[in-house]
Chain A
Amino acid sequence: MRDPGMDDLLELSEIACQEAMRAGVDSADASASRARELSVEVEKNAIKSSGACMWGSISVRAFSSGGTGWWSASTMSEQGAREAGRRAAELAKAAEADPDFVDLVSPAAYPEVAGLYDEEIAGLSASELAEWITSNIDSAREVAEDVIVAGGAQAASREWALANNLGVRVAQRETNSSVSVHVVIRQDDDVGSFYEWDAARLASDLEPDGIGARAAEEALKYLSSRTMKTACLPVVLGPLASRAFFLGLCAATSAEEVQRDRSFLIGKRGESIASDGLTLTDDPMIPSGLSSAICDGDGFPHRRVGLIDRGVLQTYLHSNYTAKKSGEENTGHSTRGGIAPTNVIPTLGEKTAAEIIGEVDDGIYVTLGRPYPDTASGQVSALVDAGFRIEKGRLTYPLKNTMVAGQMLDLLQNLDAVSSDYRAEPGMVLPTVRIQGMRVASGE
């Protein structure tokens, strides 16, 4: 596949967009992208496979009386771009009218977001990835000789361009790389396991060493896991579990879900939905953030958005379509097909994670889990993938076959602590949080 550079991606996008407009639609946008990814997979302490993949595609959205026609194809040719534009226009004309569609994004200045692309990551070889991941097999083995390591390392570079009929022309180049390790330790019929990772856009932000050792140390802690009695208890969500909790909450702030009457947060803007200890900001412009970008999927310039301020819901997350439909300010969260948060940053509290756990006389700690709410009902019912019993302020034994449940609005009001210390990843601040009175079901 030839490498024509970002200008050619923009040109292909313009051609596809113009072709759709020539076919008689009211509005159109088109994006062209290409990517290259190297990956090395590990299975049972050895490299299983290494791969090099190349992608290139064009997608076009065309609008006729508001009805949307969407065509995507794996092509990077001018002919393919023209066909994509025509096909999208045909589909748009076949779609029913949508009076809520106003028009597409207008041209605007884009912010500078540093650290999205790194030549070093783009230039990584599979051999370097192999060294990263195999050093983690070794470091895991130093912790426990009989450890079983799976996982992998990858590095990708992607270029993306978007053009629309109102004159938007935007392109972005980005890189990312990650190392992940899943460690299993077996002792007779007992098993302890843990998953650990690191990811970054820049080589200088990536710390590929020691992930295996950390995973092995954690896996040892999960041997001899037990069930407990079903009870209503304080639940402490560790950094990774709290991330899942907050991202689940953000899904319900999507204006599409709200406008379509599918969110438990309907009518809650401006109201207190959480304890005053919770403040959340969505910041897509954090330098080198994993979810950072100069614009959203519609081409709307990114900006920082306050989501929850001391418990009060400040805004819903909008795309161009939902913002214009409701006459509200666009927050720039389109994924060109949906709405999603970017870098969600909680404001930190006063107590350390250790102090927050130390105050719990009887509760549980969730290390890994997916405590998402159903976006319509707000109901949470989730397995504790990895966690501990807390007794008298200490983590006493690992849990198995244990679940947590509750109503999200109750859980948010009962959130009584956000830690001052946190796990930091590019574009992520991952604190420990505590929720009082959560339903804990288990097998004892």
Chain B
Amino acid sequence: MSEGDPKEQLERVRDEALRRRVEFAETRYVAIRHSGLMLQDGRADRVGAGERAGMGLRVLVDGAWGFASTESSDVGDWLSCVVDAVDMARVSAQRQEERVVLAEAPAVIDEVKASFEIEPTGVPLERKLAAVRGYEEASARIAGGATANLMTGYSDSRQVEVVCNTRGTLVSSESVRTMVWHAITTQDGALRQRGRQYRGRQAGFEVVEETPAEELSVKAAERAASLLSARPAPAGKFPAVFHPSITGLLVHEALGHNAEADHVLSGQSILEGKLGAPIAAECISIVDDATIRGSWGSYPYDSEGVPGQRRVLIENGVLKAFMHSLETAAKMGVKPNGSARADGFANRPIVRMSNTMILPGEMSLEELIGDIDVGLLLGAGQWGYVWCEKGQYTCHAGEGTMIRDGKLAEQVRDVSISGMTLETLSNALAVSRDFEMDMPGMCGKDGQSMSVNGGGPYVKVQEIVVGGQA
């Protein structure tokens, strides 16, 4: 934690940078406190907490970026970063193809406090333990003798990010996040299967109180238990319907990363040159929205001090916009839309998603499935990644159900799928009116980890490659 008022110290660092005639300087102080516990096989024998804070400084010198950071709380060390950052910028300037220019954005002075009902740090450990134990007990009741291992976790964090720049912005944003999770391993002979479920929001301990076991550990246990009698998934190309959790992975990995303007400008995105063009089926509209109250990926201001916004990326199949930082907005001649986020103090802001979703349509799940002869309903999305430049992505589904003659048939085990972004988006046939956005997680990009959420309706696609064993 900072020894003095971080705002005053940031302003001293900013002023020192100006004294050294930088074109732009942005100082950020980030402090995070976290706590967590894990209950495993009946015992909450691991309890942890901690705090981390530091300052990162970004400067523009000769149109080139330099960055320096320190975990020290000493303002003297912070001021030393000015020298380092300016030196770094001079290194960057050695090999620049064009000067960095930043888009105009109004200077903002603001302080945003986190919104929550029950302060997590004020909740006694016993109460947290009782809640977590309830999840475990409910899971064990469902899985019964098939239970091999149970893990249940609780975590909360409080982060304060203060952004101060040479354009007069001085913004402090506080966020409080609380998450509970449950993971169960079931066993039948040598066969083991898993079920996992998460629930997390930007809120206090009320997240736990508002999450009954039926929505967390019971779901995980039912899945892990039923997967013991499921068959391996088939291999090959199939028509498919994605559960909202797979939709969330798909929209994040396949489209979202490609719509980050830094990827577009650096030649890494398949969406380069496609703004205004139809790139998806008409039923597909995609939005990244940083303003959803309480959602895991929301924020009032990004790490450049620009307000978080709702960004329509695709509207009825047409590519409408990208996500931008001050730098990418200037390069593309558009207004910045508050998408520059930094992981802690030791990283520079880069273009990131927030809460990314496909918007719902009119159909029911039954209608989506009704005309599929042989296909899969894929659910329980777990993870994914994308090779942006190729538009080749993969997502992992925790469970699947075969569709036969328009009806849900036998369950299949967890499996990964793969596709090419533009093919998948163009081959989308319909989306449901049912909608969920409940995929709180962390997204990795350039070594930085960022809180995001994703979701959408059920989405029917003409075909997807299923990496099954059968």
Binding site for B on A (CB under 8 A): 1, 40-41, 43-57, 59, 66-76, 87, 91-92, 94-98, 101, 126-127, 129-130, 134, 137, 148, 150, 182, 184, 186, 191, 193, 225, 227, 230, 260-264, 374, 376-377, 379, 381-383, 385, 400-407, 439-444
Complex CA–CA separation, A404 to B416 (angstroms): 10
What string of 1s and 0s marks CB contacts (under 8 Å) between B65-76 and chain A? 111111111100
B51 CB-CB contact with A under 8 Å: yes
Question: How far is A401 from B421 in the complex, measured between Cα atoms in Å?
Answer: 10
Asked if B194 and A230 sit within 8 Å, CB to CB, the answer is no
Q: Is B89 an interface residue (CB 8 A)?
A: yes
21 sample A-B contacts, Cβ–Cβ < 8 Å, listed by A number: A45-B97, A51-B67, A52-B84, A53-B67, A54-B70, A55-B346, A71-B48, A74-B51, A87-B49, A91-B48, A98-B45, A126-B91, A127-B94, A191-B390, A230-B237, A381-B233, A381-B468, A383-B467, A385-B387, A400-B390, A403-B235
Is B442 interfacial (CB-CB < 8 Å)? no
Q: Which residues of A contact B73 (CB under 8 A)?
A: 75
The stretch of B153-161, B262-270, B452-460 in contact with A is: B262-270
In the bound complex, what is the Cα–Cα distance between A54 and B81 (angstroms)? 10
**Are B192 and A74 closer than 8 Å at their CB atoms?**
no
Contacts A47-B91, A49-B67, A52-B81 given; 18 further ones with Cβ under 8 A?
A43-B266, A51-B68, A52-B67, A52-B68, A56-B72, A67-B47, A71-B48, A97-B45, A126-B91, A184-B268, A260-B40, A377-B413, A377-B414, A400-B390, A403-B467, A405-B235, A405-B415, A439-B235
Tell me, in angstroms, the Cα distance from A101 to B91 when the chains sit together.
51
Q: Which of A230, A261, A440 lies in contact with B185, CB distance below 8 A?
A: A261
Closest 8 CB pairs of A and B: A403-B467, A70-B48, A51-B67, A72-B50, A98-B45, A148-B267, A50-B88, A383-B394
| Chain B 81-114 per-residue mask, 1 if CB under 8 angstroms from chain A, else 0 | 1001101110111111110000000000000000
CA A148 to CA B77, docked complex, whole Å: 38
Q: Are B89 and A50 in contact (CB under 8 A)?
A: yes
| Residues of chain B within 8 A of A444, CB atoms compared | 237
Q: For residue A94, which residues in chain B have a CB less than 8 angstroms away from its CB?
A: 47, 125
Chain B residues, Cβ within 8 Å of A97: 43, 45
B48 near A130 with CB under 8 A, answer no
Rounded to whole Å, the gap between the CB of B417 and the closest CB of chain A is: 8
Interchain CA distance A262-B195 in the complex, whole Å: 12
Known: A44-B266, A130-B91, A381-B415. A441 touches B47 (CB 8 A): no
With known contacts A53-B69, A441-B466, A70–B52 Cβ distance under 8 A:
no
Residue of A52, A150, A374, A440 near B194 (CB, 8 A) is: A374
Chain A residues lying within 8 Å of B148, measured Cβ to Cβ, are: 261-262
Q: Are A43 and B71 in contact (CB under 8 A)?
A: no
A7 to B93, CA, bound (A): 39
B54 touches A193 (CB 8 A): no
Q: List, in ascending order, chain A residues with CB within 8 A of B394's CB.
A: 382-383, 403
Give CA–CA (A127, B47) in the complex, Å: 44
Among candidates A96, A230, A376, residue contacting B193 with C-beta atoms closer than 8 Å: A376
Tell whether B419 is near chain A: CB-to-CB under 8 Å. Answer: yes
Nearest-Cβ distance from residue A196 to partner chain B, whole angstroms: 15
A311, B17: Cα distance in complex, Å = 61
Residues of A within 8 A of B84 (CB): 52
Q: Is the CB of A95 within 8 A of B46?
A: yes
In the complex, chain A residues whose CB is within 8 Å of the CB of B92: 40, 47-50, 130
Whether B192 pairs with A50 at a CB distance below 8 angstroms is no
Say yes or no: B416 contacts A55, CB within 8 Å. no
Write the nearest CB–CB distance from A204 to chain B, whole angstroms.
Answer: 24
- A230 to B238: give the CA distance in the assembly, Å: 12
Q: What is the CB-to-nearest-CB distance from B161 to chain A, in angstroms, rounded to a whole number? A: 15
**Residue from A76, A127, A184 whose CB has the most chain B CB atoms within 10 Å:** A184
Give B412 Cβ to nearest chain A Cβ, in Å: 11
Compute how far the CA of A186 lies from the CA of B390 in the bound complex, rounded to whole angstroms: 10
Are A59 and B414 within 8 A (Cβ)?
no
Confirm or deny: B149 has a beta carbon within 8 angstroms of a beta carbon on chain A: yes
Please give the distance in Å from B218's CB to the nearest CB on chain A: 20
Contact B88 A401 (CB under 8 A): no
Residues in B whose Cβ lies below 8 Å from that of A225: 390
From known contacts A191-B389, A385-B387, infer whether A52 and B88 are also in contact, taking CB-CB under 8 Å: yes
B43 touches A96 (CB 8 A): yes
Across the interface, do A70 and B47 meet the contact criterion of CB distance under 8 Å? yes
Name the residue on A nearest B93 (C-beta).
A47
A69 touches B467 (CB 8 A): no
Q: Is B14 an interface residue (CB 8 A)?
A: no
A216 CA / B162 CA spacing, docked (Å): 42
Q: Which residue of A lies closest to B56 (CB)?
A: A53
| Cα(A385)–Cα(B89), bound, Å | 35
Alpha-carbon distance between A66 and B468 when the two chains are bound, in angstroms:
43
In the bound assembly, the distance between CA atoms of A165 and B413 in angstroms comes to 47
Within the complex, which residue of B67, B71, B89, B389 is in contact with A193, where a contact is CB–CB below 8 Å? B389
Q: Of all chain B residues, which has the CB nearest A76?
A: B72
